[in-house]
Amino acid sequence: MDSFNNSDFRPLLLTGFPGLEASHPQISVLFCILYMIAIVGNSLILVVIWQEQSLHKPMYYFLSTLAASDLGLCATTLPTLLELFWLNAHQIAFDCCLVQMFFIHVFSLMESGILLTMAFDRYVAISNPLHYTAMLTNTTIVKIGFGLILRATAVILPGPFLIKRLTFCKANALSHSYCLHPDIIKLSCSDHRINSIYGLIIILITFGLDSVLILLSYLRILITVLGIASHEEQLKAFNICVSHICAVLMVYIPMLGVSIIHRFGKHVQPVIHIIMGYVYLLIPPVLNPIVYCIKTSEIRTRILRLCQTK
């Protein structure tokens, strides 16, 4: 069997919907609508929070960081998707694929860290409101933001270099219209156990730990809220947390589904892999701004006011 190292390996092939290539232009309309909703919605959140002085609070700073991460995820995946569905361009250079993989996983990991930070923010705001502003100063928020970027970059950075060590065979077709770590290492005909173990460790110490801490934060919030005497205050506290819980579910459920299918779904139909991959990438950026606009009256009011002035 012919093999190729990273220096002479031919381009990888992106995959759309096998058997529906003739319908790719029509399918792309749906993706364009979803990307447009994600880009416009998250951009509106950033603009509104930037312009409205009353929204310059920790909760909204973290929300703007989440919106920026969603926009980064869209910018990373949109070019190859449009090239595939509009121009039928299946090829992507090996190094370009690694770069795209790096940024996809960095933004995904940043989202997880931001959601954990938002859960902590809500816990402090509800359980210790008198010290809330003292604990979460602007300087602290900036440090948290840099910390999230540094964590995501440091954790994902070894991935491309570990892949560069592998030997690849003639099989070069990916399962999606973008590049993911488990999808790339499957193409290797050399021993890639180190890469698989690395990917599993990353999931456990980042997404796994984040999800446990988020769960504990909301359990503490629940205990605190139930101890509030006023029924109206309970409803207000629960309403604030609902949007965050929805955002957490929209990120972790698709991510968990993709991880399980890649590792254990060897006999699952390829179309399931493809659909779950798009759900994993598009659901959070599309639905996050919608959920926050519906559940957060301050954001909704400012966006309506901004649209009326245009």
Average pLDDT over residues 9-32: 83
- pLDDT 10s digits, 207-229: 889 989 998 988 888 888 777 65
8: number of Cβ within 10 Å: 8
The predicted structure's pLDDT at residue 154: 95
Q: Which domains does the chain have, with CATH numbers?
A: 21-308 (1.20.1070.10)
Q: Which of 147, 63, 59, 157 is nearest to 106 (CA)?
A: 157
Collect all residues with Cβ–Cβ distance below 8 Å to 49 and sequence separation of at least 6: 55, 56, 60, 61, 63, 64, 299
Q: Judge contact between 234 and 226, C-beta under 8 A.
A: yes
Q: Angle 256-259-260 (CA atoms, 0-180°, nearest 5)? A: 85
HEC string for 155-210: HHCHHHHHHHCCCEECCCECCCCCCCHHHHHCCECCCCHHHHHHHHHHHHHHHHHH
Statement: residue 6 has pLDDT above 50: no
- pLDDT 10s digits, 157-186: 999 999 988 888 777 888 888 998 888 988
The predicted structure's pLDDT at residue 7: 45
CA quadruple 177, 288, 71, 208: dihedral positive or negative? negative
How far is residue 239's CA from residue 164's CA, in Å, rounded to a whole number?
A: 48
* Higher-confidence position of 1 and 233: 233
Strand-pairing partners, residue 13, are 91, 173
